[in-house]
Structure formats: C-alpha cells, structure tokens
Amino acid sequence: MKGNVFIIGLGLIGGSIGLSIIKEHPDATVTGFDLKEEEVRLAKALSAINKTSVSLKNDAEEADLIIICTPVNETENLMKTLAGFNLKSSVIITDVGSTKKNIMEASSVLTNKGYTFIGGHPMAGSHKSGVSAAKAFLFENAFYLLTPGDHTEKEAVDLLKTWLNGSKAKFLEVKPEEHDHITGTVSHFPHIIASSLVHQVKNNYQKQPLISSLAAGGFRDISRIASSNPSMWRDITIHNIDMLKDLLTEWQQEMNHVVEMLDKNNAQDIYRYFEEAKTFRDSMPILQKGAIPSFYDLFVDVPDYPGVISEITGLLAKEEISIVNLRIMETREDIYGVLTISFQTEEDRKRGADCISSVTDFEVFTV
C-alpha cells in the first residue's frame, strides 16, 4: 500500500506504530516528527520511520494519514495547528490518547473544515518509554479502540484499519463516552488506587521505617503502575475527571461495605467476599493485553551458589529467548521464588519455563 504517513510524536507508541506500518506496507513513506531531535534520529536508525520531518506544515500537507502520538493536552493543541494547514481533502487524522470524549469534541476544529478525524487508542504499552523501546509487535492481540465521529464514512474507518493492520491488534469501534468509561474503570481508576496505596505506605513509613524495606512481593506488583509518568497521568485524570469522580464514589461505597463487614466480624461473610473476588478475577482473560501494560513474570526458586544467575540467563540466551528484566526478590511473602525474570510475551515466558525446567531441577512457576 502506497501513501504518505506522518507520525507526530516518536515515543514508544509512535515508534511501534511506525515499525508495524513499515513492515506491513513497505512501499509507504513514513515520516516522523518529534520535538526531541535525538528521538527522531533514533527512530530513523531503528527503522521506525524512513524519513525525518523537516517541516511540520509541509509534511502534514503531504500526508494521507496523520497519527498524533502525543500526550492528550498536546494532541488538542496539535489539532488546532493542523486545522490551520492546507491538508489533503482525503487525509485521515487519528490519535492514540487514552481519553476520547474531550479529544473528539476538540476534533471539531478539523471536521468542521471537512477533514476526517477518527479517535484511536491502542490498549497496550510497556514499562519502558521512548522510541528505543518500540516494537512492531507491541499491539499484537491487544485491543485497539476506535471512536469514529457520527458522520465518519465507513470507508475511512476501513482504510485506517488497513494502514494499521500490521499492528495485528483487535479493532473495536466504540462511542467516546463508552471508551472513557471502560478505560476509566480498568486503567485510570486503578492508577489512582495504586498511587493511594503508595501514599498510605509513605504515611505509615513515618511511624515504622521498616515498612519501606519490606514493601516487596505482592505490594510491589499491585503498586507498580504508580511509577508511571506523573505529567501524563495528571493530563489523563483531568480529561476523564467526571468519570473518575463517579468511580471513586463507588469505591468509597465499596470500602464502607468492607468496614461494615469487618465490624460484624463474620468469618463466613469475609470468606465469601474474597471468594467472589477470586472467582471473578480467575474468569477474566488476564493473559490478554489490556489497558495496563502486562508483565510476563516467571519465578525461579534457585539455590544460593555462585554463578546460578548467569547459568539461567545462559540457558535462555542459548535458546534465543529475550528477557525484559531480571531481579532478585529480597522479601518473598506469598511468592517463594527468589529470582524473577520478566519476558516480552506470554509465549517467551512459556518457552523460558520449559527451557529452565528441562535442564535444571529448579522450581519454576507463575502467579
């Protein structure tokens, strides 16, 4: 498929989209723009783009597809800027922001001029940022939500999907309000809860400093998303503030219910509460990619002798299995392995487990 694709913002998402488009449509020209010159040079070196932008205006006006991969506040500003250019009448403009109602309302500056804007949100990411972490398969089997306007032609939506087909994502079309409700529930709201948990530990740390040293294992895992970019999450929260207020009100009601349950000190009710949560959680497709970046962790209970870690990494390297992270757990409450290996995909984790189990007698497991 030939044409000019213009990606504005060359971070993890923009770079990964560029890689997938170039792989699927080798005849296309993918131009990249970013305020950080180093990211542009790196994107070109990594083949996430095949042309660097010399002019935002000129490259936008030559584009058949414009993909805005910037924080949501900057996306609104860029739409105003693009509206002042003489874009192709057939151009399709999309974004990748994780809120949609405000973005779709702001896109009227483009649609009022006859341009096509289709909101987009690939629901996958990574614990790493920047174009250096970009991967062509980042969105593979992930949900990619699209929010076309009420008057958007089906042909335009189909064409956008064709351009993005190399991502191997699962496309779903939803209303902007539906999108913000869904992502608010499974992504934005959990980020606030994770941050509040960390704040609670921080407050108790003043009374008991040992808490900080012991906050590993399960606490580390349920609070890790609190380490996300504060500026980005400030903007996302403000964009979805009404939905988040409703969700937090529901959360307060849920916590009041828990307090009442504890006041009654009924062991059966307490058991049922945990059981219902476990049953529903176990029924969820947790191995699929979702709104919060997944970690494919493997736990290995290894003996303590010199060279054991290099022995395991050597086994994985021999099988050409890439790892994302490697860490030794100092506190092992609930999880008994001392070595945690993070992989890029569920397939890599399974291969890693099979590789280690077939050669060693170390206990290997997931949670």
Residue 151 — φ and ψ, nearest 5°? -110, 15
pLDDT above 90: residue 290: no
Span 69-105, pLDDT tens digits: 999 989 999 999 999 999 999 999 999 999 999 999 9
Ranking 22-36, 141-155, 206-220, 265-279 by mean pLDDT, the lowest is 206-220
Match 């099988």 to its residue by tokens.
319
pTM of the model: 0.74
pLDDT-based confidence at residue 286 (cuts at 50, 70, 90): low
The whole-number pLDDT of residue 333 equals: 43
User: What is the enclosing helix (H) or strand (E) of 144?
Assistant: strand 143-148
pLDDT-based confidence at residue 345 (cuts at 50, 70, 90): confident
Tell which residue, 189, 186, 217, has the closest CA to residue 284.
186
What domains can you pick out in the chain, each with its CATH number?
4-174 (3.40.50.720), 179-283 (1.10.3660.10), 296-365 (3.30.70.330)
Residue 125 CA to its chain's centroid (Å)? 3
pLDDT-based confidence at residue 331 (cuts at 50, 70, 90): very low
Q: What percent of the chain has pLDDT over 70?
A: 91
Span 228-275, pLDDT tens digits: 888 888 988 999 999 999 999 999 999 999 999 999 999 999 999 999
Span 95-133, pLDDT tens digits: 999 999 999 999 999 999 999 999 999 987 766 678 988
The whole-number pLDDT of residue 332 equals: 42
Name the range with the highest mean pLDDT among 10-24, 131-145, 316-330: 10-24
Handedness of CA 210, 211, 214, 215 (dihedral sign): negative
